[in-house]
Every structure is written in structure tokens, then in C-alpha cells.
Structure 1
Amino acid sequence: MAFFSSGSRVLVEILTRMQSAERPMPVDHTFFESGSIRYHVEASASDPENVFLSISTPSLSYDYEEAAAAPSSSRLPELTLQEARKTYHRFAEMVEPPREGYVLTLKLNFSGLTRPKDRVKAINQVSLLQSVVLSSQLKHMLGSLGSSGTMRLVYNNQREPFFVSKTAEKINAIFPMRFRDDTDLAIATSFFQELQEVGNSFARAPKCSWSPIPPPELRGENVHHLTTNGGFVSFGVLSRHVRGKRPPRPRGSCSTSSPTSSTTSSAPGATSRAGCGSGWRP
């Protein structure tokens, strides 16, 4: 299911508390978001300036069997790793290999950021790590989509595929929306209708549309993939967003994690799930 990532609030809370703590404290926390995204944060009291952040998230794939077979701890594509290095190079190093069971581990060190507002900005940027990973993969996939008229299914996990189609002018990303809760469905439907109106009021913004029925591009697709109770949200992706010199901003990217999945988190002061490899050190 598509959603606009505003970053991990739990990750912001953990890192902010660590930065504002009066005394160094050991941290070893694991938490989950959107069902399939797992984070681990670790720091020792003897070396509090170095914080190890690991993430496990499903990779994008055109192939259902590949998506089903590939564990969320498989290695990320090199282009995605390069994007992460470039995004966080001012205050983070990539740890190789990553923590066991995770696709990426960063060693964060904010000591070089002397102004508090710079640290706040850096923490918010780190909270978008999952969006950086997915947007980099999606950008690469869209750039190699093929000839005009191509329609492909993209899998981020086995339950929530979305479609990408290519025309001579643009690429469309189409997300079937599914919700378990009637209240969530009503809120989401209203939100996407407003998003369509606001987005289409800006001439330079990619077009966004919502429809309760499959758009014409999806005619002939497997009905199993078109079964939805929340309609279909479509976004136009312009060529400059795929081939431009600057990478797309993570906050404007779409990922495919389900908002209906339950979120389990453990932050400082909350219940901790510290049992996964608490003795690990790079």
C-alpha cells in the first residue's frame, strides 16, 4: 500500500533522547514499522557518540517469485548503497558487512554538528532512511523500464504490489489501495481526493489522480491484483525525476508498505525488544 513517508517517529524519538541525555547510556532497541520494516539502534555507554543504526526492509522486484524468495536481509543493490553514502556522508559511515539479519548498517556520529538545529535536521534526515532506500531502487527500476507501452507489476512484499506503466511522455505509478478498517478507509479516501485537487493545482507538479475503479491502463490485468476497497491512486513520474542530476527527495517518494499492518515499537522508556544479537559489534 502506498504512503507518503514523513520519516520514522520512533527513530527520531530514540535519537533525540540519546542526544539530549545528561549522562551516556547504553542503548539496544529493536522496533518494527509498517509490518515488514525492522530497525535496530545500538550504542554503548563507553562510546556514546557512535550510534549503530540497522534497517531491514523488503526490496523492490518485478518478479513475484524473487520477491517471495528474497529475504529482507539480502544485500541492497550497489546503486542504493551509493545513494545512502551520498545522503548521509556528513555524519555517517556505512558498516560492511551490515548487522546480521539487516540490509544496511550506518555508524552515526553527530559530534561534528555543533549547532543544535543541525543535529535536529540530521536526525530527521536519518528518519527517512527507509524512503532513501526505496526511492533509490524505484528510480533505478523506472529508468530501466523499457519501451513505451510497457506495464509492469512491482513487488515490495508479496501482498502489496503496485503497477508502473510507460508512455512516450511519462511514467505512471498506480497503487491499489486496501484498508482493513472502515475509519481508515474513509479518512484515506478523503485524503486522496484532496491530494488530487491540491496536486493538480500546481502546473509543475506531477499529476495525481484517484479513482474508485481501475484506470484504463490496467485493463486486462489479473483481477486478483485489482481487488481493492480504497480505489486506485496514480502518480505521473516525469523523465527529470528519473534521469535528473539530483536524486529525488525521499520525502516525495512512495514506498509500498501497508498502513494496515500493526506497528510494534520499543523506544527508550517503552518495552524493549533487545534480544536480537545484543552482543554484536562491527
Structure 2
Amino acid sequence: MAYLERASPTLKETLLKIYRAEKPIEVDQHFHEFGSIEYHIKYSVSDPNIVHVSTSTLLETQGAVTLKEISSHTYEVIKNIGVGVIDIVDPPRLGFQLTLGLNLDNIPRGKEAIKIITRISELQAIILSSQLKEMLRSLNFQDDSRSINNMPIRIVYHPSEPFYVFKQPEKITAVFPMNFKDNSDVVIATSFFQELVEVGSQKDMGKAPQCSWSPIPPLQLRGEPVQDLTTNSGFVSFDITSRHIEGKRLDKTVWNLLNFYACAKYHIKCSRGYIQRRMRKRMETLVKLLNNTSLEEEAAQNENGRCKYVKEFVKVPKRKLMMKQRCKEMTRRVKISKFRIKINGCARFRFNQRWISLPKFSSKPSDKSYTKLD
């Protein structure tokens, strides 16, 4: 699968490191990008003027056009990146599609060197674009006869991301089977594709390739591998007309097709991250409101003199509980006997509204003496 940036970041960083080194350094680096693009960089101290860069990509096609070898036109485009700087090694390194010999002494100094190295880092983008360009050119828009060229062409730049190109009257259709691992990504992707179709149907987008989405594969893909046609996010199709591959538009159209998978996945990840941030922000706002509400209620209760008590239930034996209740009842009666009593029947007397108190009995001995009566 192609990538959003044409230049390979690892290849560019390694070449700049070799170019800027004060002394020659031994480099033997082998790495992959996006699962299908393979690089090998060889730089020896014994030959400090030449850097060998080998690359290959997993390319599978099915149909009339099979481009497993790099065309002569692609070789010319690669050589023109830096005249006198790039030499194509024939045969290439074992297991690789292309091997280049970079002459460091012929690279100009200053900003021009960075431009050339960046352009060399776009090697795979040039190869992939050239291959797809030749496929589109081979499908003649003027020839509407049903021939082998009308059969779908299966293009695989990444093992898990194949797409199909087939010819229809006055247009070429590119179909992308879409699969996502997470269920949340499937929901976001389905909504995104439907919105993409709706936006593409507007008048302002009349010059862009017409986009369509369907949960089932097109009829033209009958007989293709079942694993390619088994999707959870449907099939996205783009109709390419002759106007889209004229002049400089061809390069832009090809690059957009190569990067559709990467663009869709990037959009889905960004959308999911945005939704998660909004959910977290909303949750924090709700928690803050709940905390403020509880603080206000607590302050109101304190102002009204309300207190919260926690009742503790303790198991007490039944006999002790009954004795305790009797003591409470007796204490209550004694307290009542000491209260002042209001007599309603005395309203007609002068001492109306007065209170009559019961005599107080004291247990203390009195100072007065009593005479015993016979």
C-alpha cells in the first residue's frame, strides 16, 4: 500500500545520515514499510563513494495486464531524478525488484542535495505510480467492445488491501473492498463512506470522479476470491473518465487511488479520537455539575441546621431491652408530674390564665420540728 507522503522517512533519514557523515560509516540496513515495501541499504567503507539501494514491492495482478517487471519508461523517470547520480544496477540484488547505485560525489552541495535525496526516497512512489499509470493507459476508453480488457484487474500493493480496476463504457471503475477490525471503526467508516457519496454528488464536485458505496460487491467482481469479497464495511467505487487521466491529472489521480486506503484509515482513526475526546470532555462536565450540586445541597443543609446521623443498630437481649423501656416510661411520668398544669375550668375566677403548680417534695430533712400528737 502506498503512503500519504511520497518520500520514505526511513530511507531519507539513512541517506542523509550517510551523506552528512564526516567519516565513512558502515551501513547494512534491511527494513520493511507498510508490510509490502522492502528496502535494503548497503554502504561500505571500502567503497565510500557508492551507496547501493535495493527495493521491491509485493505486486500481484490478475487479468490482461501483468506488470511484475519495471518498464523502460519507469527506468527513465528514475534516472532523471539526478543525472549522473543514479545508476541502475543490472541484475538487481537477489530477491529485490530494483537496485540503484548512488554516486555521492556527484550530489551537489547545499539545499539541492536535500532535494535530490528526498526525490530518491520517493523511489517506491514512482514505481507504484508508473505501474498503475500504464494499467490505466492500457484500458482504452474509446474501445467499448467486450474483450479480455473488460475483465477486472486485481492489484495488490499490500496483502490485506487489494483493489480492482475494470473497464466500463466511457469510464474505468476502481473498487475498494473495505475491512476494519474494530466494530467502532466499522460504524464510523460506514457513515463516512455514505457522507462521501453524498458530498461527491454535489454540483461543486462535478469534476471529481464519481463515488459510490454499496454493502455488496459489484456484479463485475463475480468469480473473484471470496476473502476479497467478504467485507464488513462494504465496497467503495470511483468512476474515472478520460478527463481524469489527461496531462498532469493522471499523476494526481493515480496517487489518490494508491492512497485511498491510507486516507480512509487515517480519517477513521482521527474521527474515533475526536469522538473519544468529546465523550471524555462531556463526562468531565457532567461530573463537575454533579459535584457542584452536592456541595450546594450540603451547604443548604448546614444553613438549616440539618445534620445527618448514622444509626447504629446494636443487638440487645430482650430482657434488658424491656427493663430499659420501663425505666424510660417511669422517667417520662415523673417528668410529666413536675410540669405546670393549666386548669381550663378556672376561667371565671380572678386568677384566670394563672398556672397552678404542684407542691414540690424534697427528700432533704427539714429544719422545722414536729410535735407528736397523742
TM over 0.5: same fold?
yes
CA contact (8 A) 1:26 1:44 kept: yes
Equivalent residues of 1:93, 1:107 under 8 A apart: yes
- Higher alpha-carbon deviation: 93-102 or 178-187: 178-187
**What are the equivalent positions in structure 2 for 1:114-133 lying under 5 Å apart?**
114-133=108-127
Provide the rounded CA distance (Å) in 2 between the counterparts of 1:171 and 1:183.
Answer: 32
Aligned to 1:26: 26
Listed one character per residue, the Cα deviations across residues 184-229 of structure 1 (whole Å, up to 9, x for unaligned) are 667867876787759985665x426363524756575648232223
Report which of the two has the higher share of strand.
Answer: 1
CA drift of 1:52 comes to: 1.0
Label 1:245 to 1:209 Cα distance change in 2 as closer, same or farther (>3 A): closer
Aligned residue for 1:275?
A: none
Distance 2:82 2:192 in 1: 32
Aligned residues of 1:199 and 1:208 also touching (Cα < 8 A): yes
Correspondence for 1:228: 231
Matches of 1:5 and 1:40 in 2, distance apart? Answer: 20
User: How far has the Cα of 1:105 moved from its partner?
Assistant: 0.7
- After superposition, where does 1:21-170 map in structure 2 within 5 Å? 21-63=21-63, 75-89=69-83, 91-145=85-139, 147-148=143-144, 150-156=150-156, 160-170=161-171
Residue by residue, what CA displacement relative to the aligned partner does 1:71-102 show, whole Å, maximum 9, x if unpaired? Answer: xxx64343433443344546311111111111
Question: 3-state DSSP class of the match of 2:134?
Answer: helix
Change in 2 beyond 3 A, CA 1:190/1:97: farther
Q: Give the 3-state SS of the residue equivalent to 1:155 in structure 2.
A: strand
Query: Which structure has the bigger radius of gyration?
Result: 2
1:211 matched to 2:221? The reply is no
Structure 2, unaligned runs of 5 or more: 263-374
Q: Which region of structure 1 is more displaced relative to structure 2, 244-253 or 106-115?
A: 244-253
Whole-angstrom CA distance in 2 between matches of 1:117 and 1:191: 41
Bigger drift between 186-195 and 1-10 goes to 186-195
Matches within 5 A, 1:152-191: 152-156=152-156, 160-181=161-182
Q: Which amino acid aligns with 1:108?
A: L
* 1:248 correspondence with 2:256: no
Cα deviations by residue, 1:150-197 (Å, 9 ceiling, x for unpaired): 241323266543211323433222221223355766786787678775
Alpha-carbon spacing, 1:256–1:203, altered in 2? closer, same or farther (3 Å): closer
Q: Secondary structure at the match of 2:53?
A: strand
CA distance in 2, matches of 1:137, 1:13: 26
In structure 2, distance between residues paired with 1:90 and 1:214: 52
TM-score of the superposed pair, with normalisation by structure 2: 0.54
Whichever residue aligns with residue 229 of structure 1, its letter is N
AA in 2 matched with 1:170: K
* Matched residue type, 2:175: I
Question: What is the rounded CA distance, in whole Å, between the counterparts of 2:47 and 2:20 in structure 1?
Answer: 15
Question: Is 2:89–2:99's contact at 8 Å kept on the other side of the alignment?
Answer: yes
Which amino acid is the alignment partner of residue 17 of structure 1?
Answer: K
Shift of 1:242: 4.7
Unaligned ranges ≥5, structure 1? 260-282
Cα displacement string for residues 129-156 of structure 1 (whole angstroms, at most 9, x for unaligned residues): 1121121111112222354372413232
Alpha-carbon separation, structure 1, partners of 2:22 and 2:174: 47
**Taking structure 1 as reference, are residues 119 and 161 closer, same or farther at Cα in structure 2, changes over 3 Å only?**
same
Separation in 1, partners of 2:97, 2:255: 23
Match of 2:54, SS state, is: strand
Name the aligned partner's letter for residue 133 of structure 1: I
Equivalent residue of 1:229, what SS?
coil
Q: Going by fraction, where is helix more abundant, 1 or 2?
A: 2
Whole-angstrom CA distance in 2 between matches of 1:114 and 1:173: 41
